[in-house]
Amino acid sequence: MLGLLRQKIGSGTSSAMILGQSRQLIRPAVSALRNYSSAVKEMTVRDALNSALDEEMSADPKVFLMGEEVGEYQGAYKITKGLLDKYGPDRVLDTPITEAGFTGIGVGAAYYGLRPVVEFMTFNFSMQAIDHIINSAAKSNYMSAGQISVPIVFRGPNGAAAGVGAQHSQCYASWYASCPGLKVLAPYSSEDARGLMKAAIRDPDPVVFLENELLYGESFPVSAEALDSSFCLPIGKAKIEREGKDVTITAFSKMVGYALKAAEILAKEGISAEVINLRSIRPLDRATINTSVRKTNRLVTVEEGLPQHGVGAEIWFASLLNLFSVLIVTRYLSLHTLHSSVFL
């Protein structure tokens, strides 16, 4: 990576030219709005992430990985297994234990048109690098109205795992989702992980990619379409995992599994629950949520974050605002019809 960067700078190529070339190499995301049902194999979330990284590195030489133990050790959770042997140390970089240092290098490389994927061994450690994530990557993109492209992915396990302390168990979805200039994704299934990782790498904006350590070894059915190298899920689009008519349940990451189990229990009691897998925390698919709540008139949000100022609070506010606006319009139309009838 450093060799490629020096080569770009040394050749006298301007940053604007490099950014322009990088935009030409951005492959358009293949819209995956349809529901894929033709499952052909089972795949773990770990393998889904690994295959997505492998294919994107193969397709675009500007994509490279960096982080602690991503190379020689094959990744702390084996997400980057085999990639060092395939792409070499210039594109799979083992870094010192200094999140602030290697994140800053990654953001600088993104400024010059490369497409870094920065791994945090746990997202709790991203606090060491939050200045670069927020002030360097996110705000440069936001304050320039997207004119400064920062195509970087910050990824790693988020939330609570098994047998770890409170300082290693935080969910950062609401933290990063509150920051303009960032996109925040949280996959649940293998198809989510594969399609959203590809979308994140191809995106011209900085993306925070929140995985879950306890899901890495979970297997999910993967469709034939999702195994294609061109497969890519749209950022900002939720998925209805289970349709229902009595109550809407929204969740993301590992909590989707709990929501689906709750829906099964409710079904035995005659309650039909609709489960929405958010996938994207920022941007949030408000349209899908609002449509569901207008149908069910009930909303339950599930997340593993802190109880105050969470993702659920944003969903509740948006849903209530939408329902109130519908009620106001309905009331206005009914009064308008009444006055028209009296006048006639």
**Beta-sheet pairing, 183-185 with 207-211:** parallel
How much is the pLDDT for 199? 98
Kindly list the strands in the beta sheet with 207-211, ordered across the sheet, starting from the edge strand earlier in the chain. Answer: 92-94, 63-67, 115-119, 153-157, 207-211, 183-185, 280-282
Do residues 174 and 310 make contact, with C-beta atoms less than 8 angstroms apart? yes
146 φ/ψ sector (left φ>0, alpha ψ -120 to 50, else beta): left
Provide the token pair at 338: 């009444």
Task: For residues 157 and 215, give the distance between their C-alpha atoms in angstroms, rounded to a whole number.
Answer: 9
Note the CATH architecture for domain 42-227: 3-Layer(aba) Sandwich (3.40)
Q: How far apart are CA 263 and CA 278, in angstroms?
A: 16
Confidence (pLDDT) at 36: 45
pLDDT for position 227: 94
R_g (Cα) of the chain, nearest Å: 22
The predicted model scores a pTM of 0.83
The pLDDT assigned to 121 comes to: 95
pLDDT of residue 342: 40
Q: What is the DSSP string of 31-89?
A: P--SPP--EEEEEEHHHHHHHHHHHHHHH-TTEEEEETTSSTT--TTSTTTTHHHHH-T
**Class at the top of the CATH hierarchy for domain 239-338:** alpha beta
Burial label for 334, CB within 10 Å (0-12, 13-18, 19+), is: exposed
pLDDT at 35: 46
User: How is the chain split into domains, by residue range?
Assistant: 42-227, 239-338
Do the domains 42-227 and 239-338 sit in the same CATH topology, yes or no? yes
Q: Which of 107, 133, 193 is nearest to 157 (CA)?
A: 193
Cα separation, 52 vs 322, whole angstroms? 37
Is-contact 152 100, C-beta < 8 A? Answer: no
Per DSSP, the residues of 225-275 read GGGSTT--PPTT--EEEE--SSEEEEE-TTHHHHHHHHHHHHHHTT--EEE
Tell me the per-residue pLDDT of 145-183, one tens digit each, with 9 for 90 and over: 988 999 999 999 999 888 888 888 899 999 999 999 999
pLDDT (0 to 100) of residue 14 = 40
Q: Which stretches in the chain have pLDDT values below 50? A: 1-37, 329-330, 332, 336-344
Residues with catalytic function:
99, 168
| pLDDT of amino acid 151 | 97
SS3 content of the chain, % helix, strand, coil (to 5): 45, 15, 35
Q: Looking up tokens 């200045």, which residue turns up?
A: 131
- The two structure tokens encoding residue 259: 């929501």
Cβ contacts of 328 within 8 Å, gap of 6 or more:
none
Give pLDDT tens digits for 222-277: 999 999 999 999 999 999 999 999 999 999 999 999 999 999 999 999 999 999 99
Q: What is the pLDDT of residue 26?
A: 39
Predicted local distance difference test score (pLDDT) of residue 165: 84
pLDDT computed for residue 111 by the predictor: 95
